Amino acid sequence: MKRLLPTLRADQTSESLISVINTIHIAAKEISFRLHQGALAGVLGSTLDENIQGETQKKLDVVANQLLKTLLLESPNVHAIASEEEDSIVVSPNSGHYLVAFDPLDGSSNIDINGSVGTIFSILRKPEGEETGESMFLQPGKAQVAAGYIVYGPATMLVMTTGKAVRTYTLDQTVGEFLLTRETAEIPRSTREFAINMSNQRHWAPPVKEYVEDLLKGETGPRKKNFNMRWNAAMVSDVHRIITRGGLFTYPWDDRNGKKPFKLRLMYEAAPMALLIEKAGGKATDGYQRILDIVPTDIHQRVGVVLGSASEVDKCMDYHAKHPKPF
């Protein structure tokens, strides 16, 4: 079976980019090991701190962040990092050509229940010039040179693209290597499965309410087919299901908290997932426009997300088009 690095070389990925990806996968193997140790490693539960997003940090959020941060900042090819768990970007003493944005442990509320969690990463080229501040990172998702995630489930899997195919690798625990287990992901155009946190229904804007109501009417409703619903509460594992067998995932705008009408972060959740989804033949939008076209104004910016099987995303966007934007 093919190992990770030779497959990247076969895609003509540059050695400097391969080295950054390799650094991420070394950190991922360590995170996977700690997660699989579970309570034995003494890392379950929360810290007493909150991150910049006002969320309580899990001990493993901190461990995963520290591992990625330390290893990436030691890499000669990395210029700076942005992390969900860091208030600001951190610039490396090395003057590498790449910027890495990451969510070290997505869906971390699943840790204590032994559910799937993941690491999401997005790699950008440092813009030419002397710029060293946060604005270096404020590039639209379509500028990403690589993106991917590691899902720590029953198996640890890495799904990534350097702009060509979306490849899936599985961590062989016996040799400690990611081995290629799926050459190319192809998301079916249509689906009968959707993912949304239904408990927020009363807070959604009209287009999302109407869209989901019609899905729930099943074969006697306007969609003329029955839909199944899945919600893993970790974007990585919901997206992994869609990359594997299709589906629609949405975390839309809602009015629960006027200061935070969106939940998911653009730079290290929505944009890297959008690149993977598009490269696998799906679509990723905020309900109105392509996520990869959105130019961030802040590294921790949040965004509405509708992604997955292309024709289902189009359908969902048709409902949005009938209403004015709530934001």
Annotated binding site for Mg(2+): 84, 103, 105-106, 269
Question: By the 8 A CB rule, do 200 and 321 touch?
Answer: no
* Cβ proximity to ligand F6P, 169 vs 251, nearer residue: 251
Q: How far is the CB of 237 from ligand F6P (least distance, A)?
A: 8
Contact between 317 and ligand F6P (CB under 6 A)? no
Q: Judging by DSSP bridges, how do beta strands 156-161 and 283-285 pair with one another?
A: unpaired
Cα separation, 222 vs 208, in Å, equals 15
At 32, phi and psi to the nearest 5?
-60, -45
Q: What angle do CA 308, 264, 322 make, to 5 degrees?
A: 60
What tokens appear for 172 in the block? Answer: 């062989």
Q: How far is the CB of 242 from ligand F6P (least distance, A)?
A: 12
Q: How far is the CB of 21 from ligand F6P (least distance, A)?
A: 22
Q: Which residue's Cβ has the minimum distance to ligand F6P? A: 235
Q: Which of the residues 92 through 111 are near ligand F6P (CB under 6 A)?
A: 106-107
Region from 155-163, 207-215, 233-241, 271-279 binding ligand F6P, contact rule CB under 6 A:
233-241
Q: How far is the CB of 266 from ligand F6P (least distance, A)?
A: 11
Q: Is 207 left (phi over 0), alpha (psi -120 to 50) or beta?
A: alpha
Nearest to 242 by CA among 169, 288, 286, 192: 192
Region from 31-39, 61-69, 231-239, 306-314 binding ligand F6P, contact rule CB under 6 A:
231-239
Helix (H, G, I), strand (E, B) or coil at 234: coil
Place of tokens 């720590």: 152
Contact between 56 and ligand F6P (CB under 6 A)? no
Contact between 233 and ligand F6P (CB under 6 A)? yes
Contact between 234 and ligand F6P (CB under 6 A)? yes
Contact between 308 and ligand F6P (CB under 6 A)? no
Place of tokens 């934001």: 327
Contact between 235 and ligand F6P (CB under 6 A)? yes
Contact between 197 and ligand F6P (CB under 6 A)? yes
CA dihedral 296, 298, 301, 307 (to 10 degrees): 20
- Exactly one of 72, 81, 124, 264 binds ligand F6P (CB under 6 A); that residue is 264
* Cβ proximity to ligand F6P, 112 vs 177, nearer residue: 112
Contact between 257 and ligand F6P (CB under 6 A)? no
Question: By the 8 A CB rule, do 75 and 94 touch?
Answer: yes
Q: Judging by DSSP bridges, how do beta strands 78-83 and 98-106 pair with one another?
A: parallel
| Site residues (vs ligand F6P, CB under 6 A) | 106-107, 197, 233-235, 251, 263-264, 269
